[in-house]
């Protein structure tokens, strides 16, 4: 029997690296896993305690397709507190992780054959989901000259080459950690509105930034632009396996997403939704802030020794918890590109990183991504091993 052509997307390489790292750990190796973008702390105590109480006492059946009203109201309150933006809870859709949010957003916003632009390097699931839905992905080559973020001139060029129907941006971005300053996000949103291009803004790393000079802006403030905001409990609140995210939708997509959500997933996970309300408590915010402080310490330990690694250049790690570095100088020594570099590093030094080929099919063979979501001592030990391994090459 046939397999659909639309399903022929590449696997997410980081999951393959993670599987190999877990196999080595199960075999008794002391693996330092810095490949996955996953906070090692897990959900806060206040969320866990609420979940335990719900397991004992609550009816955890199906919820509304767009999410329970209490959680949607808390998310709206979050936008008031953090961004001074009023969002009607009716425009918020709770989703099965940000991944489920992207699927719903892309289904609602784009038709087969639509052209959607995104930055390269970037999170691979964007283009893979879009391709599976029959959209044409327009990759914008974003390097250090644009701080790895798309620009209006790049959009103009792509628009006049073949038209554009959508733009996906991420700030902070994966894998680079770079951010769009408010003025640049506003310029992109304004251009999209003027050219009838749907803006999808990935904001799942909001709250994880390391300089008071770098402000975080949300596309939710551009209510007339038709922008869709995607966010998640996975990163700032460290709730990866709870599979809980949300969309902030323009009015014209609310009914469409509601209908799609009911058909695709019936409802997001009930336990995660009800427990997730506690993430917006004072204790929930405090625990998340403590996590960010730990990421900052890991980042500082890493940047203090980045010259020892010999990765040149590296992207500015303004936010999120990634260091994206150029390992082209090691091609001859390892006998291959970044895939070979990561494979040998794991096999010979028990350090798991992600090859850049996951994020950039053109230049990614020269790059690797290190996640510093782990504790500072784990990051420091990993640097020790990488530096020592380099000496053996």
d(CA 387, CA 377): 15
Kindly give the parts of the chain with pLDDT less than 50: none
Specify the CATH number of the domain 5-43+285-392.
Answer: 3.40.640.10
Tokens 């680079």 sit at which residue? 176
Query: 62-88, pLDDT tens digit by residue?
Result: 999 999 999 999 999 999 999 999 999
- What pLDDT is stored for residue 274 in this prediction? 98
Question: Is-same-fold flag (5-43+285-392; 47-281)?
Answer: yes
- What pLDDT is stored for residue 320 in this prediction? 97
- What pLDDT is stored for residue 211 in this prediction? 80
Query: Distances in Å between the alpha carbon of 96 and those of 69, 91, 264?
Result: 16, 16, 10
Exposure class string for 241-280: b at 16+ Cβ within 10 A, else e:
ebbbbbbbbbeebbeebbebbeeeeebbbbbbbbbbbbbb
- What pLDDT is stored for residue 36 in this prediction? 85
Q: What are the boundaries of each domain within the chain? A: 5-43+285-392, 47-281
Pairing of strands 32-33, 115-120: unpaired
- What pLDDT is stored for residue 216 in this prediction? 84
Reference 199, options 161, 247, 144, 234; nearest CA is 247
- What pLDDT is stored for residue 212 in this prediction? 73
- What pLDDT is stored for residue 292 in this prediction? 96
Query: 147-168, pLDDT tens digit by residue?
Result: 999 999 999 999 999 999 999 9
Please name the residues in contact with 319: beta carbons below 8 A apart, sequence gap of 6 or more.
171, 172, 177, 178, 179, 205, 208, 209, 210, 214, 216
Query: 49-63, pLDDT tens digit by residue?
Result: 999 999 999 989 999
d(CA 20, CA 30): 13
What class has domain 47-281?
A: alpha beta
Reference 139, options 167, 114, 180, 181; nearest CA is 167
């Amino acid at each position: 029997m046939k397999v659909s052509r639309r399903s022929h997307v590449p696997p997410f390489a980081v999951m393959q690296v993670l599987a190999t790292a877990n196999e080595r750990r199960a075999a008794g190796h002391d693996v330092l896993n810095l490949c996955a973008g996953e906070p090692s702390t897990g959900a806060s105590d206040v969320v866990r305690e609420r979940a335990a109480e719900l397991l004992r006492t609550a009816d955890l059946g199906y919820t509304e397709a767009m999410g329970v009203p209490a959680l949607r109201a808390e998310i709206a309150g979050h936008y008031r507190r953090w961004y001074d933006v009023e969002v009607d809870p009716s425009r918020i859709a709770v989703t099965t992780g940000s991944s489920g949010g992207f699927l719903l957003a892309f289904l609602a916003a784009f038709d087969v054959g639509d052209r959607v632009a995104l930055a390269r390097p970037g999170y691979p699931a964007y283009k893979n989901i879009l391709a599976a839905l029959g959209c044409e992905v327009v990759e914008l080559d974003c390097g250090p000259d644009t701080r790895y973020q798309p620009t209006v001139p790049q959009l103009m060029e792509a628009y006049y080459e073949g038209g554009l129907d959508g733009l996906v941006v991420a700030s902070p971005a994966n894998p680079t950690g770079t951010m769009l300053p408010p003025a640049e996000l506003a310029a992109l949103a304004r251009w999209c509105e003027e050219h009838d291009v749907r803006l999808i803004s990935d904001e799942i790393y909001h709250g994880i930034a390391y300089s008071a000079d770098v402000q975080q802006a949300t596309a939710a403030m551009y209510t007339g632009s038709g922008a869709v905001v995607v966010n998640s409990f996975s990163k700032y609140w460290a709730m990866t396996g709870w599979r809980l995210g949300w969309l902030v939708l323009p009015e014209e997509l609310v009914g469409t997403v509601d209908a799609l959500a009911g058909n695709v997933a019936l409802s997001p996970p009930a336990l995660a939704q009800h427990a997730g309300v506690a993430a917006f408590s004072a204790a929930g915010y405090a625990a998340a802030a403590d996590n960010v402080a730990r990421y900052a310490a890991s980042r500082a330990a890493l940047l203090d020794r980045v010259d020892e690694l010999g990765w040149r250049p590296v992207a500015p790690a303004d936010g999120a918890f990634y260091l994206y570095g150029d390992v082209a100088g090691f091609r001859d020594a390892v006998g291959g590109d970044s895939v070979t570099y990561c494979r040998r590093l794991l096999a010979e030094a028990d350090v798991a990183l992600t090859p850049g080929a996951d994020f950039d099919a053109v230049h990614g063979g020269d790059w690797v991504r290190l996640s510093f979501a782990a504790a500072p001592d784990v990051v420091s030990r990993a640097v020790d091993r990488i530096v020592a391994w380099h000496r053996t090459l």
